[in-house]
């Protein structure tokens, strides 16, 4: 009983709150610039729906940035690891929707559709929580199709960063680093895509994200582009 209570304390209080404190403290030092904001804002200003798509490797700088985009919901698996993530998301003021393609996916999709109808934006990590890196899993396309919402690719890139020895080489910008948050063109997902349309859409989104990340990372090797963006 004591062990169970201690684990509950760790998962529900210590890890989420201390983790969020660290994220906010570090993020407050970043010099952030938004690139191509109209790709997102034109949809939002028109009252449109949106599903943000990003890689697991790069979501760290977006945590505090997207906390300003409330209300926002994110699908998280029903695994034990997902429990910690769901609690952290809740602490940030986001809505955690528990489910995945292997467990609880149908109900989660229905919940997300209802939340979008209430004005929620949806965030989705396309290759989480365990990869393979850069692979767009079916969940993103199902969410966009089921909820009739365009996918807006959103990527982050830090000039100076730590790289962890994880499956995705997770990146965290170092204190006082320049950080770019960039929005790609919206990708509309048809309700009927035919027999091979689903896989083609996954490939298309993966290619768009890969191009955005590579092109944005290249900024740090080009003094003129850095000056253009950051002044």
pLDDT per residue rounded down to tens, the chain (231 residues): 666 665 666 666 677 788 888 899 999 999 999 999 999 999 988 877 899 999 999 999 998 888 888 899 988 877 666 777 787 888 888 898 987 655 656 788 889 989 998 989 999 999 877 789 999 988 899 899 888 899 999 999 999 999 999 999 999 999 999 999 999 999 999 988 887 889 999 999 999 999 999 999 999 999 999 999 998
Rounded to 5 degrees, φ, ψ at 158 are -105, 140
CB 145 within 8 A of CB 189: yes
CB atoms within 10 A of CB 164: 12
CB 53 within 8 A of CB 154: yes
Per-residue pLDDT at 121: 93
Residue with token string 């570090």: 26
CB 229 within 8 A of CB 35: yes
Per-residue pLDDT at 11: 60
Q: Could you tell me the end-to-end alpha-carbon distance of the chain, in angstroms, rounded to an integer?
A: 58
Q: 3-state DSSP call for residue 160?
A: coil
Per-residue pLDDT at 139: 87
Q: Which residues are within 8 A (CB) of 104 and not within 5 positions of it... i.e. 6 or more apart?
A: 78, 98
Buried b (16+ CB within 10 A) or exposed e, 198-215: eeebbeebbebbeebbee
Per-residue pLDDT at 68: 80
Question: Rounded to two decimals, what is the model's pTM?
Answer: 0.89
Q: Which residues are within 8 A (CB) of 119 and not within 5 positions of it... i.e. 6 or more apart?
A: 71
Domains of the chain: 2-230 (3.40.1130)
Q: Which residues are within 8 A (CB) of 138 and not within 5 positions of it... i.e. 6 or more apart?
A: 101, 198, 202
């Amino acid at each position: 009983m004591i062990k169970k209570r201690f684990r509950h304390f760790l998962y529900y209080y210590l890890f989420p709150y201390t983790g969020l404190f660290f994220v906010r403290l570090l993020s407050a030092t970043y010099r952030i610039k938004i690139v191509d904001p109209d790709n997102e804002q034109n949809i939002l200003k028109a009252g449109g729906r949106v599903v943000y798509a990003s890689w697991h490797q790069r979501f760290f700088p977006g945590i505090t940035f997207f906390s300003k985009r409330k209300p926002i919901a994110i699908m998280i698996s029903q695994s034990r690891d997902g429990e910690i993530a769901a609690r952290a998301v809740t602490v940030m003021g986001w809505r955690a929707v528990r489910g995945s393609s292997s467990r609880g996916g149908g109900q989660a999709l229905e919940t997300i559709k209802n939340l979008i109808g209430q004005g929620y934006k949806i965030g989705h990590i396309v290759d989480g929580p365990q990869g393979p890196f850069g692979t767009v899993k079916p969940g993103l396309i199902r969410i966009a199709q089921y909820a009739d919402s365009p996918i807006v690719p959103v990527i982050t890139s830090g000039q100076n960063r730590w790289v962890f020895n994880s499956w995705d080489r997770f990146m965290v910008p170092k204190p006082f680093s320049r950080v770019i948050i960039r929005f790609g063109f919206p990708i509309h997902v048809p309700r009927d895509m035919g027999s091979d349309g689903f896989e083609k859409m996954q490939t298309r989104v993966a290619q768009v994200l890969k191009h955005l990340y590579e092109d944005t990372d290249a900024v740090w090797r080009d003094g003129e582009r850095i000056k253009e963006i950051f002044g």
